[in-house]
Amino acid sequence: MVVDAVHGLAGLPGHLRAAEAAGAVSLRPAFSRAPVDGHRFVQHRVAADADEIWRLLEGGAEVYVCGDGARMAPGVREAFRSVYVAHTLGADDAAAQRWLDGLMAEGRFVEDVYAG
């Protein structure tokens, strides 16, 4: 099983690097102070990888968002709503919010955030 992760920490912990080397995860880093592939923030990485993220979500993937609740988390939620709208014919912002609320209710979109 391959799990893709978007990671916004200031450095990748060794256990994540080891898991990627073993093929268990595919990390897509986003570092605000050292952009990778031009992606400075997690929401930028989500937008860049939207097609793959959609495919993974359709396959039952779970999303864990950890970090700043004041700036990063709202941006990531908006990026995921945009992924839904882009991949769902006729979807609008309200439908995207209901979809995201559903993922949260199912425990497939989990936030562990702190007030910034």
Q: What is the pLDDT of residue 1?
A: 34
Using the predicted structure, report yes or no on whether residue 7 has a pLDDT greater than 70: no
Q: Reduced to 3 states, what is the DSSP secondary structure of residue 5?
A: strand
Query: d(Cα 64, Cα 7) in Å, to the nearest integer?
Result: 9
Q: What is the pLDDT of residue 97?
A: 98
Residue 112 CB partners (closer than 8 Å, separation 6+)? 64, 65, 66
Which of 10-14, 53-57, 58-62, 82-86 is least confident?
A: 10-14
**How many CB atoms are located within 10 Å of the residue 83 CB?**
21
Instruction: Give 43 or 105, the one with higher predicted confidence.
Output: 105
Using the predicted structure, report yes or no on whether residue 78 has a pLDDT greater than 90: yes
Structure tokens at 38: 């031009």
The residue-averaged pLDDT of 81-87 equals: 98
> Are 70 and 116 in contact, with CB atoms under 8 Å apart?
yes
